[in-house]
Structure 1
Amino acid sequence: MKRLLSLLFALIVVAVVGGVAAGWWWTGLALRLPVGTTADEPLTLEIKPGSSSRAVARAIAAAGVDVPATALYAWFRLSGNAAAIKAGVYEIKPGATPRSLLRQMVRGEQALRSVILLEGWNIREVLAAVRASPHLRQDIDGLSPEAVMGQIGLQDQQPEGRFFPDTYRVVKNALASSVLRQAAQAMDTRLAEAWEQRSPTSVLKTPGETLILASIIEKETGAEEDRSLVGAVFNNRLRIGMRLQTDPTVIYGLGERFDGNLRKIDLLTDTPYNTYTRAGLPPSPISMPGWNSLLAAVRPADSKALYFVAKGDGSSHFSHSLDEHNSAVRRYILNR
């Protein structure tokens, strides 16, 4: 097969250089035959910006395709699409033909991979996921969260909550920092969209405050139907100067000292993130909020509730008074 393919490709060169009309039928056959590769798995091919068609042909051969670079170059010229080849990272899959390979590069069908950032993750979890991705070239290893922000051109911004949770499709072997740059830009966009939709019932004064409150809402509930009600509770408390008294902020303030068990002493120990001891919002977000939490912060439900307690099924019971709240605690927490 290899000898036949090489012979047929040689005829391409004859057709291009010598203008031999009889070579066209053989050329068409060669272009439909699968190219041989040195591996059973897809080969990775990187075409650098500004590469000539001759350089592209050489890169394909160097990637492990068992076809002479001169024959590939001749086909590119013969096709009339040599100048349309796009730079990028491609995969040459088993069974690919010279015709399909050229079509892939002309269309810019690059090798894409997914990087997933989950709602509610903190900055440590975000960086750990990006660093662990086998599809990325690492340029953030060993960097602190603050240094990472400098790496992506946001050195004056705090890192917590700055990345929008989503699935990002990136080119194989892209820089790790490029994913974070996309996620930061996505958060800027989504935060601005949410801020434009804020309700008069929201007490938040800036997009920055929105990001902080949304990050708390994200950690307080996973029930979509409860998000706007949780947003209402916190907006109502901020309006009257009542402390937020939310466990996730205390846990965040404990950092790596938190062992999974929140103790009474933790609630009594003052830190910048202890919303039991301090009024108002904490100094920064505590997680990456998703779109629904951003909306819940600026468009809270029409409710005067000041309390809520987990019901044990993922949802919460909301109360307007302390007496009602205490009754709900006895019912859902103490089982009385």
Structure 2
Amino acid sequence: MSDTASGARIEVEGLTKIFPNATAPAVDSIDLEIRAGEFMTLLGPSGSGKTTTLNMIAGFESITSGRIALDDTDIAALPAYKRNLGMVFQNYALFPHMTATENIAFPLRQRKVGKSEIARRVSEALELVHLGGHGERLPTQLSGGQQQRVALARAVVFEPRALLLDEPLGALDKKLRESLQLEISRLHRELGITFVFVTHDQDEALALSDRIAVFRDGHIDQCGTPAELYETPASRFVATFLGDSNVFTGHVRDGLLDTGWCTLRAPAAADGPGALVVRPEHLRLAVGDEPEAGNPNVLSVTVTDIVYQGAFRRVLVRFDDGGTGQVRDTAGVSRSVTIGQRVEVCWSADDGVLVPDDQDPEGADAVPVPAGAR
């Protein structure tokens, strides 16, 4: 591959897509800047607008209004083949009658690249995705992971300045997904081009991304680094969609959250309605001992289940209001709890985050059920 490859900056302004007979826009006037060389992930539940946005950037879907720019050049009116963007699909989209080499060479032949240059680039692309020696195999002679590597090689062989990936690992099993996540991360580092990656898998987004744009109902709820979104979510939706959360809703006054069934110390915030988000790893079990000093929030709960997950265990609990939550507890620690046992959980006020209570009850099935919510 070329040593001069560099990433393109992609900007969308006021981007809108309204499908015929739709009751609401699929994408509703979003603004997003994707920096040159960045790994940007578009994350959200089904129907949130992330794939439609990617398809509009790719040129596979027309826009209703707005602007799409590649390095300050408006490309919204250009057909897909003139945008020079690489694309990787979930279903691989390989030609079944062509070998791996022929599939990878296809975009170069379309661009009328010379035979010797095609041979050089295809050989480099096969090595880049660790498929040297597999070039003469047909797709049916390759595993699912190998087919996806061929699709990746085909998407980058013509040296695009941006690579668009539409849930490329969705059809693979967990272990293979995790292996190819590492490969995609390596490719991003080695190629130095801009990656725009669509997924609904939160763990995948956290593992791969420089930044994540969280989509909901055609809008972007929040955009930031994985750490920013996980540690300081801007809304209850982001908090519950990106990772597990214990959520307590109520009214804040003088640094206290009154839920109607308990009062909790909250981080400093303006008075008014809100939701307190506490990640499971910040809760501590107090079994047979006094709660740890410095943890002003203490609640009695009932253990409903215990899930062993190797390095840690998830202790599922029920709060006294009937809501559910969980504690991420280090496996092997000598805290013995059993299903049905009454225990105390505690946490520091600084370990919680106050966010607007923006949960839509009618759309509750679009996100994981929040814990402790009334």
Alignment TM-score > 0.5, same fold = no
Higher-strand-fraction structure:
2
Q: TM-score, normalised by structure 1?
A: 0.27
Q: TM-score, normalised by structure 2?
A: 0.25
- Higher Cα Rg, which structure: 1
